[in-house]
Each structure stands twice: as structure tokens, then as C-alpha cells.
Amino acid sequence: MKSRYNRIFQVVGIVIVLCAEYAQAQNSTNSSPNFSETVKSANSLFAAKQPDAALEMANKAIQLDGSRYEGYALAALILEKQGNLEEASQKAAKALELAPAEKKTALSQFRDSIENQKSKTIPIIASPGEIRRKYAALMQIVEDADKAKSPQERTKYLNEFLEKSDDFANTHLAQTNIWVMRAAAAVELNRSVAAEQAARQLKALGMMESQEPKLRALIEQLERKGWTGNPLKMLTLIMGDAEKAPNPAARVQGLQEFLVKSRDFAGSHPQEGSIWIMRAQAAAELDYSFLGWQAGQRLKALGLLESSEPTVAQIAATLERKGWLSDKRSKTDWIGRSTEKIKAAADIGDEDAAERLKQVALTLKEELVKLSKEFGNYENITQDSKLKDSYHYTNSHNTQLEFENDRLKLIVSEEATSTDTSIYRFSQNLDCLLTNINHLRN
């Protein structure tokens, strides 16, 4: 872990050094205007992700004034980004030799980071020309993906890019743009392994704090998916998206997503006050009493209910108003609410909702048994096409309907009586079947 942070410091540090020295070079009376302009052009081209052109300008700066270290340092940085570690090391060493005393520490760290990469890289026989060809081939795939005429065609090209850029990216770990493109492709294709790998490398390269708009948006997508190894950041973004939802239905969906995805994290981090504040807020808005009471108890134990921060104070007042801060919890009566709403709360972990869902399933089972005695003849079931489809659909989901002596018999699997999603399916299927059986009464 320590070496990773050192790597971040080294890459960012050398960029800062170069930028600072460029400004100094511009104003220096010892350097020609051509040298200053050349360094400026090299920096601009490098920032614009044109490494070949930037390297050409850096080498030109060296030719203009070989006694200054800036050209060597900039060339070393570009070569390192391109994965040409051997030549980058040579340029860095020359920059270190020419640099003033106050700049030697940062340059020494940068050179050491290159040497460290070299020691971990499997030697390959690849000329600069071969590296450029492979890079250009990958760029062609990206261009084809951008020009794709259908989502299927774009998916094909993005998968091709991820497959063919794998070896190149892992051989040239400092190729930031390749890792950015791999991250973007992995996010679009929802390929978690590739996305997590790209996120780790972008973090090692010091790119996770970038404020460049497109890169910032990509990083937030990685964080939102939980692929950056920061679950709290992921949950905060989910909650933020819920608060910015364009309509009430989307807001409810976002709050439910947050409660589902924060459940395990909250359980394993009982001292993380921010997550319990957000869970209390979501539970209060959705009126999930068990979860609201649970969050209220944690906030009370953490001493956060006395906070004067406006948002927290408002949440505390809401919990007090709902009676969710009392030591003894009062159960919520879910009678009268739709099965969908009960299931949503049960999935999130609301024990009262889970209990009510089980009652719904058992009530429907009893009703079906009662109706089957009245309309259980096999011919009655199969003569109605809609009823027949319903019968077969129900049979495929955790229940089995059989006929004995022309009477309908219900066999409920063990799974269908547990307090999970199968209960919801069970109740829906039985409800559908009962509705169709009732046609026989009319």
C-alpha cells in the first residue's frame, strides 16, 4: 500500500515540478524564447493526450538548450507514460544530473519509480515502432466503436478493445489513456472485473481526484458501481442520486436501492454515523418503521441525535415524531398496503413487512384450497385458456398443483413459505390463479 501512494506522489510531483519550472523557464533570462515556447508546446501537447508530438517537442527543447533539465524531465515523463521505461530512466537520470538542488528530491523519486516499474515488468522485445502500431490498432477499435451503427455493433467493438488492450495495458502500466478507455468500456459493458482492475490502476496513477469533467464523470460511475473499493462513497452517491431524482417514483426507487445496498455495510460498520444518518432519512421518507427504529437506536448510541447540524437535527426530529427513538419498538401494521410495497420493504430487511408478506401468502393458499374444492374439476381448469396458462405458470414457481379424484390439490414447496422473494412470487402466482378461477363463478 505504501508503494502505491509513493507512486501517486511521484507522478503528480514531477508534473508539478515541470509546470513550475516551465513558468520559471519562460521568465528566465538564461533561456532563449524558443526554448520556453518549445517547453510550453510540449506541455500543451502532452495535456492534450498527444504523446508522440509532445515527445518530439521535448526532444527539440533538449536540442535548443541541453544544459537545462526541463526538456529531459518532460521527455522522461512522456516516455514513462508510453511504457518505454528504459529510455525514460535514461532521460530522468540526465534531468536529475542537471537539476538545481531544490528540485533533485522530486526527480530522484520519479527516477526511482521508473526503476521500480522496470524491476516488475517482464522484458519484451518490442521496438518503439511496434508499440506505436499496437497503440494505433487499439485506437482504431475505439474509433470503430464510436462509429458503430447499432448497440450490438458497438458492444462487439468494445469487447474487442477490452480483449486486445489487456496485454498492452498490463505491459504499459503508465498508459493513462488506455486505462481510462478500458474503464469506460468496462462500465458501459458492466464488466466488473475489468472495471475494478482499471479503477485500481487509475488510482495508482493518481487520476481518481481529477476534475476534468469527462474523467470525473467516469470515476463517479466507477464509484457508483462500487468498483473503486470505496463502499461508503458508492452509497453516498446512490443516496445523492435519489435526492436528485426527477420524479417521486424514481426517488422511491433510489431510496430503496440505497437501503438494500447499505444493509450489509451498515451491519459491519455500526460506528459509521454517516451511513446511519442516511438510512434513517430513507426509512423515514419511505415510512419503514423497523428500519427507522433500528437507525434511530444506532444514532442514539453514537450520540448523534444531539447534533446541531441542520440536516441531522431535522432527521432526529422526524424520528422523534414517528416514535422511533423509544427503547421499545411498536410494530407497523402493513394491512391494506400492496403486495409490491410489502415485498420491497421485506427485501430491504423490514421484519414487520416480511411477517406480513408471509401472512399474505398463507391467506392466498387458504383461499385457493377453498376454491379448489368448489371448482377443482380438471375439465373446469383446462377449458379456460387463460386459466390453463395461469395454472401452468403457477406450477413452475415454487408450487405444484395436482389432481386427485378430480379434485385440485395444492402442494407448497418449502421454499415458497420462507420470508424471501419466493413468497412474493408465490403470492403473485396464487393471486393470478385465484383471479382466473373466479371467472368460473360468473
DSSP code for 21: H
For residues 29 and 77, is the Cβ–Cβ distance under 8 A?
no
Predicted local distance difference test score (pLDDT) of residue 76: 86
β partners of residue 410: 401
111 contacts 129 by C-beta, under 8 angstroms: no
Per-residue pLDDT, averaged over 190-202, amounts to 90
Best-predicted range by mean pLDDT (53-62, 109-118, 401-410): 53-62
pLDDT of residue 365: 59
**Range 318-329 burial, b when 16+ CB lie within 10 A, else e:** bbeebebbeeeb
Contacts of 79 (CB under 8 A, 6+ apart): 55, 85, 87, 88, 91
* Confidence category of residue 421, pLDDT binned at 50, 70, 90: very low
Round to whole Å and give the CA distance between 117 and 194: 21
Q: What are phi and psi of 159, to 5 degrees?
A: -65, -40
Q: Are 64 and 48 in contact (CB under 8 A)?
A: no
Question: How far apart (Å, rounded) are the C-alpha atoms in residues 318 and 131?
Answer: 62
What is the mean predicted confidence (pLDDT) over 345-365? 72
Give the pLDDT confidence of 279-299 residue by residue, as tens digits. 999 999 998 888 999 999 999
Hey, is 408 helix, strand or coil?
Answer: strand
pLDDT of residue 366: 63
> Domain 2-120 maps to which CATH number in 1.25.40.10, 3.40.190.10, 1.10.240.10, 3.60.10.10?
1.25.40.10
Determine how many CB atoms are found less than 10 A away from the CB of residue 240.
14
Q: Measuring CA to CA, which residue among 86, 105, 113, 117 is closest to residue 16?
A: 105
Give the pLDDT confidence score for residue 193 in this predicted structure: 87
Distance CA 216, CA 207 (A): 9
Q: In angstroms, rounded to a whole number, what is the distance separating the alpha carbons of residues 223 and 247?
A: 24
Q: Nearest CA to 265 among 304, 292, 226?
A: 226
Return the residue matching grid coordinates 489487456. Answer: 166
| pTM of model > 0.75 | no
Residue type, 389: D
Average predicted confidence (pLDDT) for the chain: 75
Given a contact cutoff of 8 angstroms between Cβ atoms, the answer to whether 183 and 222 are in contact is yes
> How far is residue 298's CA from residue 94's CA, in Å, rounded to a whole number?
59
pLDDT, tens digit (0-9, with 9 covering 90-100), for 298-313: 999 999 998 889 999 9
Residue 377: pLDDT band by 50, 70, 90 thresholds? very low
Burial 188-217 (b: 16+ CB within 10 A, else e): ebebeebbbbbbebbbbbbbbebeeeebee
How far is residue 174 CA from its own chain's centroid?
A: 23
The DSSP 8-state label assigned to residue 13 in this structure reads H
Give residues with Cβ within 8 angstroms of 142, minimum separation 6: 157, 161, 181
Question: In sequence order, which ranges of 28-100 are alpha helices (DSSP H)?
Answer: 33-47, 51-64, 70-82, 85-98
The Cα 237–Cα 249 span in angstroms is 18
